[in-house]
Chains A and B, each alone.
Chain A
Amino acid sequence: MKLLGAILIVLASTWAGVEWSRTVSERSRQLRMLKSALQSLEAEIVYGMTPLSVACGHICRQVGHPVSWFFDSFRKKLEEGHSTAYDAWMKSMDEVWKYTAFKSEEKEIMKQLGATIGQQDREHEQKQLQLALIHLEREEQEARNNQMKYEKMFKSLGFLGGVLLVILLI
C-alpha cells in the first residue's frame, strides 16, 4: 500500500515538472511559428505582390495558434478599413499578445516591422522583413538556450521533488 502511494506521488510530481517545462518550450515554439509566418509574408510580398489582407488570409491558414490569430485579426482590420496599416497592426497586437508566450523583445521587433509594413516598395519591405527575421532568430536562440537549461531542470526537479516527498513521508 505504501509502495503504491509512493509511486503515485512520484508520478504526479514528475507530470507537474513536465507541464512546467512545457511553458518554457512554448516560447521557442511560437517564435518558430512567427518566423515561418513572416517568411511566408516575405514570399507573398516579394514574389506574389499580394496585397496584405490577402497575404495574411493565406498565412493564418498555414501557421498554428496563437500566431494565426494575430494575422487573422490584422486581415479583418484591413478589410474593415483603417486609417493606416500600422494602426491596424498595433491594434491586432494589443488584442492577441496576451494569448502568446512572447516577451517584450518580440513585441518591440513586431512593432518596428509594423511601422513600415505596406508603405514601401518590394525591396524595402523585404529588407524590413529580413531584419525582423534576424532579430527573431536571435530571440529564438536565446529561448532555445533557456529551454535546454530549464526544461531538463524542471523535469528533474519534478521527479526529484516527488522522491524527496516520499522519503520524508516514509
Chain B
Amino acid sequence: MEEVLRVLPEGVKNIIKRYSNVERGGIEEIRIRINRPLEIIINGSPQFPQVDGREYFISREDASQITNKLSQYSLYALEEELKKGFVTIQGGHRVGLAGKVITLNGNVKAIRDIASFNVRIAKQKIGIATPLLSYLYSGGWMNTVILGPPNSGKTTLLRDLTRLMAEGYPKRSIASSKVGIVDERSEIAGCVHGIPQHQLGKRVDILDACPKAEGMMMMIRSMSPEILIVDEIGGAKESEAIIEAVNAGIHLVVTVHGSSIEDLYRRPSIQELIRSGMFKRIVELSRSSGPGTIKAVKDHKGNEIRRTKVI
C-alpha cells in the first residue's frame, strides 16, 4: 500500500489514510477521473468517500501530480507505457490510463491528456496453488492448462504455481526448478525495470513485455528453463512455439480464456494442442463462488480427476 500512496496526490492520500487497516486491505481499485468524484472499490463495492460533506472531486492539479509522480517528472520516459495504456509501479500494482489517444497510421502512439487513472492494487495470494500440488506433480511437473473466463483468478493461480515451482515444496520433497516466464502483459511478475515485484522465488527469469511466441523461443535458446510459464495463449505462432518447447523437454504451464474444455476444442490453434495430449492436466476455473473457484481438474482426455472446491 505504501507504494500506491507514494503516487497519489495529497488530497486522495489523506482520504485513503482515513480507512482502517482492514478496509484498506480490501481496496481493489482507486479510480481517479478529472472533474469527477474519487471512487474507491472495496471488496467489489464502489464507494465515493466524502470530505466535509461533499464528494471529493479530482482537480486537474491532482491529475498532473499523479502523472508527474508516475513518470518521475519525465513524461518521455513513459513512452512505452503510454502506448500500452498502463504503468506498473513498485509492488506490482498497476495504474491504468485513459484519455485522448494519439494514433499514427492507425496504431496507438500514445495517450495524451490523461483524464482517468485506475490504480489496481495487486494482491499476491500465497498458497492458493498448494491444494493442486498432488494433481499437477507426480515425479515431475506436468504440462498444465489453466482455463477460465476473465477475472476468474487465472493469473493469480498461475503466479502462485510459479512460486511453488521456483521455490520447491520441501514438505513433499519437490525440488525447485528453473522457471522462465514470458510476461507479455507484465501481469504475472509485475516487473519494474525487469525486476519482479511479486514474490516468485529465486530461480525465476522473466522476459517482461515480450511477445509470447518469440519470447518462448528466446527462453528456450538462451535461458535453459525447466518450466516455461505463459499467460493467455491463443495464436498459431504461439502454438508452434509451445510444440517446440515441449519437444525440447521443457514443462509448460499456460492459461487460456474460456469457460470449459469444449471452448478449447472450438479454437483451431489450441484444439490441436489439447488433442495431441501434450497437456496432461487441465484446471478449470470459474467465478461461481468468487474468483479462484476451481471447477474441475481434468486429465488430457478430459476425464475429471477432482471436482469443485473453493480455494
| Chain A contact residues, CB within 8 Å of chain B | 45, 49-53, 55, 78, 81-85, 88, 118-122, 125
Contact = CB atoms under 8 A, between A and B. Distances in A.
A85 B79 contact: no
A53 B73 contact: yes
B78 to A, nearest CB: 9
A157 B79 CA distance: 57
A118 B69 CA distance: 12
Given A83-B65, A84-B64, A85-B68, A52 B79 contact: no
B74 A84 contact: no
A121 B68 contact: no
B77 interface: yes
B: interface residue count bin: 10 to 19
Contacts of A83: 61, 65, 68
Contacts of A45: 74, 76
Contact of A78 (B61, B72, B77): B72
Interface of B: 61, 64-65, 68-69, 71-77, 79, 82, 110
A121 B114 CA distance: 13
A118 B71 CA distance: 9
A39 B94 CA distance: 34
A121 B68 CA distance: 13
26 contacts: A45-B74, A49-B76, A49-B77, A49-B79, A50-B74, A50-B77, A51-B71, A51-B74, A55-B74, A81-B69, A83-B61, A83-B65, A83-B68, A84-B64, A85-B68, A85-B74, A88-B73, A118-B71, A118-B74, A118-B75, A118-B76, A120-B75, A120-B76, A121-B75, A121-B110, A122-B76
A125 B78 CA distance: 13
A85 B77 contact: no
A163 B150 CA distance: 93
Nearest to B110: A121
B72 A53 contact: yes
Nearest to A119: B75
Contacts of B64: 84
Contacts of B82: 121
B68 A84 contact: yes
A132 to B, nearest CB: 16
Contact of A51 (B65, B77, B79, B110): B77
A62 to B, nearest CB: 19
B113 to A, nearest CB: 12
A45 B64 CA distance: 20
Task: Kindly name the residue among B71, B76, B110 whose own CB sees the greatest number of chain A CB atoms within 10 A.
Answer: B76
A86 B135 CA distance: 58
Nearest to A52: B74
A75 B75 CA distance: 16
Contact of B72 (A52, A84, A122): A52
Nearest to A54: B72
Contacts of B72: 51-53, 78
A121 B76 contact: yes
Given A51-B73, A51-B77, A120-B75, 7 more contacts: A45-B74, A49-B76, A50-B77, A53-B73, A84-B68, A88-B73, A122-B79
Nearest to A121: B76
Contacts of A125: 76
Can you list the 6 inter-chain pairs with the closest CB atoms, starting with the nearest?
A51-B72, A85-B73, A51-B74, A122-B76, A118-B73, A52-B74
A123 to B, nearest CB: 9
A40 to B, nearest CB: 15
A11 B61 CA distance: 63
Nearest to B76: A122
Name, among B69, B72, B73, the residue most crowded by chain A CB atoms within 10 Å (CB to CB): B73
A120 B82 CA distance: 12
Contacts of B61: 83
A120 B113 CA distance: 11
A118 B77 CA distance: 9
A78 B79 CA distance: 20
A58 to B, nearest CB: 13
A100 B110 CA distance: 39
A50 B193 CA distance: 12
